[in-house]
Every structure is written in structure tokens, then in C-alpha cells.
A and B are shown apart, each in its own frame.
Chain A
Amino acid sequence: MDSFFNQYGFLIVSMTFSALLALSLYLPLMAGQLSLASPAFYAIGGYIAAVLSTQIFPVESGAPFPLERLLLEMLIAAAVSGVLALLVGLPALRLRGVYLALATIALVEIVRVLSLNLEITGKAIGIFGIPQPFATKLDYLWISGVLLLVSAFFVYRLEHSRMGRAFAALREDELAAGAMGINPTTTKLLAFVLGAMLAGVVGAVSAHFLNTWNARQGTFDASILILAYVIIGGSRTFLGPIAGGLLLTALPEVLRALAGVPGLPPLAVSFLQDGRLIIYGVLIVLSTLFFPQGLITPALLRRWNRKGRA
């Protein structure tokens, strides 16, 4: 079991990060806002942690990075992402549907181009040698696992709160929601800011986790990937994005591991090894065909609930 965690510690933590990023995209989606901005805040959070830990709070090479500083970086990343989301969200959220998605993609691009040009972000090479707060990658689970549990609980409670119902009302019909006394602007803005803060915090931990941070993190590709987590997992309950993030991040590595199972004919091994991304793609297409609402839907949860009670 020890060697299992040694080998897959990184993957397990990556899975939780993906689930968190999926939640950060799910938050604005709860209020019906298709925002692809999460990677921008993820990138900003990462740069904040990378710059702070390599330049402002340097530790001797080899020495562990103090945990309280990591927590401080996460706080700063959340605050900066939140304020930026407020500034960007006010004008951007006047747009709807695809147009909002386009505006948020523009934000992702702006962050990428800025980080390629600024001296402080290390231009195209990025920042490397980011100090490690933990001895092994699996230990990051203390941060990411707790963060996932807390955010999942938060979103779960949110879904049943007054604000959560306001999100749902906005999602279903903005005009009707407005007529019932819900302020669309502040409600949407809140959902957007919450998602941005979560993405920023995840970025801050990720920078340490990956040892390095550069402009290839949090690009448009990441936007689409995170959107896929939500779509495949299911976009109507908080469990959907979490499941999608966990599953889609694990899948390529599970396929890689399958190729290593002894006793397989060589053809199957080489197909699993070289074709694993093809299989991955096919599985995604199949799941959208057979589960158009995502893997986890409110209807499915109700059925599980009934079965549990029976």
C-alpha cells in the first residue's frame, strides 16, 4: 500500500485540485452564468504563491516551506482574485450566455499574455524552484483534501440557502427572478466572485505542488478541460463537478496503469499505452451521448436517497 501511495500520491492530489477547479466553475454556473474565467484566477493565484515564496519569503534550499506562509499565500490569492473578480465581473456580467463565456476567455488570454511579458512572472520560462511545504506529494492532501471537503460542504449548504435558491431562480429565469425581488447583478456577482476566490486558492497551492509555475498553466485549454469536468460530471448538483474532476483526471493514468497489467497480449499493451488518449476521448464522447445531463444528476441522487431509506 505504501508504494501505491508513493506512486499515486501526486495523482490523488491532482484529482482533488481538478474537483476544486470544477467547483469554481460550477459556482457561477449555479446562477446560470457560463464563465470560463477560473483558469485566469487559478493562474493569478499560482503566480502570487510562486512570487511570494521565491522572492518575498525565501527559505534555504532544502528546508521545508512553513505551512502558515502557505496558508497566508492562499488568503492573499483569495483576496486578490476576489477583488479582481469584482472589478471584472461588474461589466462582464452584463453579458449573457456565450458572450459572457467569450469575455471570460478574453480575461484568461489577458492573464496569459501579461505573464508572458512581465519580468516578475518569469516570461515564457516562468518561475521554478518553488519551495515545498511537505515531504511528499501525498501530504498536500492535508490542504487540498480539507479544502475540497470544506468547499463541497459550503456549496452543499449554499444550494439549500436563500442565496442558493436565488442562484437557481436566476438560472431558470432571470426576469422572473428579478420580479420576485432578487437583485440579479449582486447575486451573479457573488457567484462569480466566490468561484474566482476558490480558483485563486487552488492556484496558490498548485504552484507549490507542481514545483514550477508558468504561462502554460491556466490557459484556454484548461478552461475547456474544467468545463468538461462539469459537463461530464453533471451541472445540476455540486457532486457532479466533483465527480467529473476526480474521474477525468484519474482516467488517463488508470489507462496508463492498465497497460502495465501483466499477461496482456502485446497488441493490447501497445494499444493501451499509445492509444490511451484515444480511449479517453472516446469515453468522453460516449458519456455525453449516454449521460447528456452528466453522470450525477439530481434525479439520480433522489433515487439513491429512496433506496437508502427503503
Chain B
Amino acid sequence: MRLIRVVISSLVVAILLSASFALAQDVQPIKIGVAVAQTSNVALFGQEQVIGAKIAEAYFNEKGGVNGRPIQLVFQDTAGDEAGAINAFQTLIADTVVGIVGPTLSQQAFAADPMAEQAGVPVLAPSNTAKGIPEVGNFIARVSAPVAVVAPNAVRAALNLDPNIKDVVVFYAQNDAFASSETTTFQSTVTNLGLNLASVQTFQTTDTDFSAQITNALALNPQLVIVSGLAADGGNLIRQLREFGYTGVIVGGNGLNTANVFPVCQQFCDGIIIAQAYSPAAESEINQTFRELYKAEQGKEPPQFSAQAFSAVQVFVEALIRLDNITKLDTLDLATQRNLLNLSVLAGGYETPLGMLSFTPTGEIVQEQFYVAQIKMNADGQTGTFEYIQ
């Protein structure tokens, strides 16, 4: 029983201590919060975002930070749920950050962004692609292009590859928010291009056997199959699709835009067309610098999630520099800093690894370039590359 009392009293002390110390912290570096999913089943994406943000922190501090003042990234794990995102945001807001990069999922953003909006803290979403995110409030913007903009490019590229495409079957993971909003874009693109949307098949991200849906689909003899899912389920679906004898073109959604899909569908990955918001091959100086830094650290090409997190930090840093050039930051109190930073973010244009970025007044991203890649698998069937066809 003594143990309980010790545990409870130490918990109380801990809460009080942390709260009081959060107030009295050193203000030297400029703090930027990063709230992404470092744990839970979304951690695969969150970890890539952490790497990208850390590279940005080191790179911009090397370049002199914000006119000589270094930046410091404060990481708080959101895990994969809404409550976790709100807790992480609250901790960061109390930790006197000037802005927040995060969260990983759109659904988390719908829960946590209103907290930042209320506190007047600018938020840059590195990977929220659902409709309605920047509209949550004045302080909310994103560097991730909404699905409606990215996805259609892949279908057009598929048509270039095979002009005889007529009948299309669309598959999507119905329990995944990203896949189910991406598929509506794919479906309307198919109809707008005058193709026949022969059938829409659904699956779950936890499924491993897709034979029922595939049999239904192949009975319609499609020339194009579009898959919106995540790496594991989408990869498996494509593998089974090929094993059932489908030989036509396959377009993958953004969830398959990762090298993690290679070991899943192996040689069957070959030829999948994927629209991307980021290409490691983009020739801009900043992208090649980022690519080299990433490769030196991780030994592989940077994924989109890392590039987006890097870009979000970069946007904050450049907006801070612009603001500091007009009024010295240390003459402003925190609320004014946050407020002016938000205006500065929205006003600027940024040359990032994603290409040239700017924002609409509501905070929606204006991205100038998108890419379409095709997967080429190596002979060993385990490794491959994204080859850019557009």
C-alpha cells in the first residue's frame, strides 16, 4: 500500500514540477514544435518525418539559423490517435514554441488544429492531405498537396503509356481516410477523361486475401487498375492481381509511394505508376543538398514524408528570417511573434525540396511541380527504384 502512496504522490509532484518548469525556460534558441506520430501504427510515416525535420534543423543552424539565432526543434509524440495529438499540441503550446509542424494524420489534425488556432500558434501540416485542413482556421496551413491535385497526374501518365485503355477498375482501402478520399479523386479523374469506370472494389488495410475482389474485377477485363491503399495491403493486392494473371497497367496511390512496398510485391511491383508530390531527382540546389544529407545519414533516397517535414521546417525558418529582418524577434512578445510569423509564412514564396511553394490566404499550398514515377524492380526481386516518367 505504501507503494501506491509513493506512486501517486510522485505523480502529483511530477505534474506540478513539469508545469512550473515549463514556464521558466531558457529563451535563447527559437523553438519550433514538431508533433508527429513517433509511436503507434502510423509511426512508419512519423519516423520519416522526424528524420526530415532533424536534417532541416542541423542544416539551417549550420547556415546561421535565424539571423544568427539558432532554431531548436522540440519533438512531442502524438501517437496515432486524436487525444495524443491534442496532448502533444498542448504541451508544445505551453513550451513557448513559435510554430508547430504536424500532426501526421488528417484526422488528428481535425482534432488538434483547433487547439493551436485558439492559442494563436501557426501550424504547418507536413502530411495532411484531406479536404478542409487549411479551412480549420487562420493559423493552419499545409505543405502537403491535397490528393485532388496529385492523383490525376498518374492516370494521365497511364494513358500516355497505353492509349488503348478503356475499362478501369478502382480498388481502395475503405478503412483508411487517405485512401478513401484519394479514390474519389481517382474515380472522378477516370470519368472526366472519358474512360469507363467498370467497378469499384473495397478492401481493408488489415486484409491479406483479396481473391474475391480480384475475381470480380478481372471478370470485367479492365486495361487499367487503380489501387489506393497502404504499402502492406496495397502491395499484397497488386501481387495477387498479377498472380491471377492481370497484365494491364496498374496505378498506385500515394500510400504506395514508398520503398517499403518493394519487399511486399517483389517482382510484381514492376511497372506500377505512382503520382508523387516529391521526387528525389528534382534538380534544384536545395533538393540536391537535402538528398545528399539524407543519403549520407540513411544510405537511401529520401522519401516524400521526410522531404515534406524538411520543407515545413524550412518554411518556418525562412518566414522567421523575413520577419526578423523587418522587426527584431526578441523585441516582440510571444503572442505577437506567433501572430506575425503566421502572416509571414502565408506571404512568402519558398524554394524547397518539393519545388517552389507558396500559400493561398487560407493556407492551402500552391505547389508548382508534381512528378509521376514508375517502379522498376531489380533482378533480385527485392530492391527497386522509382523512375521518373514525368
Q: A residues bordering B, Cβ < 8 Å?
A: 3-4, 6-11, 14, 112, 116-117, 123-126, 128-129, 132, 136-137, 210-212, 214-217, 250-251, 253-254, 256-258, 260-262, 273-274, 276-277, 290, 295, 300, 303
Residue B23, interface by CB 8 Å? yes
Least distance between B266 CB and chain A CB atoms (Å): 28
> In the complex, are the beta carbons of A212 and B110 less than 8 A apart?
yes
Stretch in contact with the other chain, from B12-20, B149-157, B286-294: B12-20
Asked, given contacts A125-B177, A126-B177, whether A211 binds B110 with beta carbons under 8 Å apart, the answer is: yes
Asked, given contacts A211-B110, A261-B21, A274-B38, whether A14 binds B77 with beta carbons under 8 Å apart, the answer is: no
Return chain B residues, CB-CB under 8 Å to A256. 76-77, 87, 91
> In the complex, are the beta carbons of B87 and A253 less than 8 A apart?
yes
Asked, given contacts A125-B106, A210-B82, whether A261 binds B17 with beta carbons under 8 Å apart, the answer is: yes
> In the complex, are the beta carbons of A3 and B94 less than 8 A apart?
yes
Residue B218, interface by CB 8 Å? no
Of the candidates B1, B39, B93, B111, the one whose C-beta lies within 8 Å of that of A277 is: B39
> In the complex, are the beta carbons of A261 and B15 less than 8 A apart?
no
> In the complex, are the beta carbons of A254 and B15 less than 8 A apart?
yes
Least distance between B92 CB and chain A CB atoms (Å): 10
Which of A9, A125, A253 is most buried by chain B, counting CB atoms within 10 A of its CB? Answer: A125
> In the complex, are the beta carbons of B90 and A10 less than 8 A apart?
yes
Return chain B residues, CB-CB under 8 Å to A215. 175
> In the complex, are the beta carbons of A8 and B107 less than 8 A apart?
no
Between A and B, 6 residue pairs with Cβ closer than 8 Å are: A6-B94, A124-B174, A128-B132, A214-B177, A261-B17, A300-B1
Return chain A residues, CB-CB under 8 Å to B17. 257, 261
> In the complex, are the beta carbons of B86 and A10 less than 8 A apart?
yes
CB-nearest residue of chain A to B175: A116
Asked, given contacts A256-B76, A260-B18, whether A212 binds B82 with beta carbons under 8 Å apart, the answer is: yes
> Once bound together, how far apart are the Cα atoms of A217 and B75, in whole Å?
25
Return chain B residues, CB-CB under 8 Å to A261. 14, 17-18, 21
Of the candidates A10, A214, A274, the one whose C-beta lies within 8 Å of that of B87 is: A10
- Give the size of the chain B interface in residues (CB under 8 angstroms): 48
Least distance between B174 CB and chain A CB atoms (Å): 6
> In the complex, are the beta carbons of A212 and B39 less than 8 A apart?
no
Of the candidates A9, A14, A211, A273, the one whose C-beta lies within 8 Å of that of B75 is: A273
> In the complex, are the beta carbons of B82 and A257 less than 8 A apart?
no
Return chain B residues, CB-CB under 8 Å to A250. 11, 15
Return chain B residues, CB-CB under 8 Å to A3. 19, 22-23, 94
Return chain A residues, CB-CB under 8 Å to B107. 125-126, 128, 212, 214, 216
> In the complex, are the beta carbons of A254 and B11 less than 8 A apart?
yes
Which of B3, B18, B20 is most buried by chain A, counting CB atoms within 10 A of its CB? Answer: B18
Of the candidates A10, A11, A116, A295, the one whose C-beta lies within 8 Å of that of B4 is: A295
Return chain A residues, CB-CB under 8 Å to B130. 125
> Once bound together, how far apart are the Cα atoms of A62 and B23, in whole Å?
29
Residue B176, interface by CB 8 Å? yes
Residue B83, interface by CB 8 Å? yes
Determine the main DSSP class of B at the interface with A.
helix
Of the candidates A128, A216, A274, the one whose C-beta lies within 8 Å of that of B81 is: A216
Least distance between B81 CB and chain A CB atoms (Å): 7
> In the complex, are the beta carbons of B19 and A124 less than 8 A apart?
no
> In the complex, are the beta carbons of B19 and A7 less than 8 A apart?
yes
Listed from nearest, the 9 A-B pairs whose CB atoms lie closest are A257-B18, A128-B110, A212-B110, A7-B94, A4-B19, A124-B180, A124-B177, A125-B177, A212-B111
Return chain A residues, CB-CB under 8 Å to B83. 10, 14, 210
Least distance between B154 CB and chain A CB atoms (Å): 21
> Once bound together, how far apart are the Cα atoms of A257 and B18, in whole Å?
6
Return chain B residues, CB-CB under 8 Å to A300. 1
> In the complex, are the beta carbons of A260 and B21 less than 8 A apart?
yes
> In the complex, are the beta carbons of A116 and B110 less than 8 A apart?
no
> In the complex, are the beta carbons of B14 and A254 less than 8 A apart?
yes
> Once bound together, how far apart are the Cα atoms of A262 and B4, in whole Å?
26
Return chain B residues, CB-CB under 8 Å to A4. 15-16, 19-20
Least distance between A300 CB and chain B CB atoms (Å): 7
> Once bound together, how far apart are the Cα atoms of A287 and B14, in whole Å?
20
Asked, given contacts A8-B90, A257-B14, A261-B17, whether A211 binds B114 with beta carbons under 8 Å apart, the answer is: yes
> In the complex, are the beta carbons of B90 and A210 less than 8 A apart?
no
> Once bound together, how far apart are the Cα atoms of A211 and B94, in whole Å?
20
CB-nearest residue of chain A to B23: A3
Residue B199, interface by CB 8 Å? no
> In the complex, are the beta carbons of B177 and A257 less than 8 A apart?
no
Residue B141, interface by CB 8 Å? no
Residue B58, interface by CB 8 Å? no
Residue-wise interface mask of B (71-112) relative to A, using a CB-CB cutoff of 8 A (1 in contact, 0 not): 000011101011100110011011100000000001100110
Least distance between B188 CB and chain A CB atoms (Å): 16
Which of A7, A214, A217 is most buried by chain B, counting CB atoms within 10 A of its CB? Answer: A7
> In the complex, are the beta carbons of B174 and A123 less than 8 A apart?
yes
Return chain B residues, CB-CB under 8 Å to A258. 14, 18
CB-nearest residue of chain A to B181: A125
Least distance between B61 CB and chain A CB atoms (Å): 18
> Once bound together, how far apart are the Cα atoms of A251 and B17, in whole Å?
15
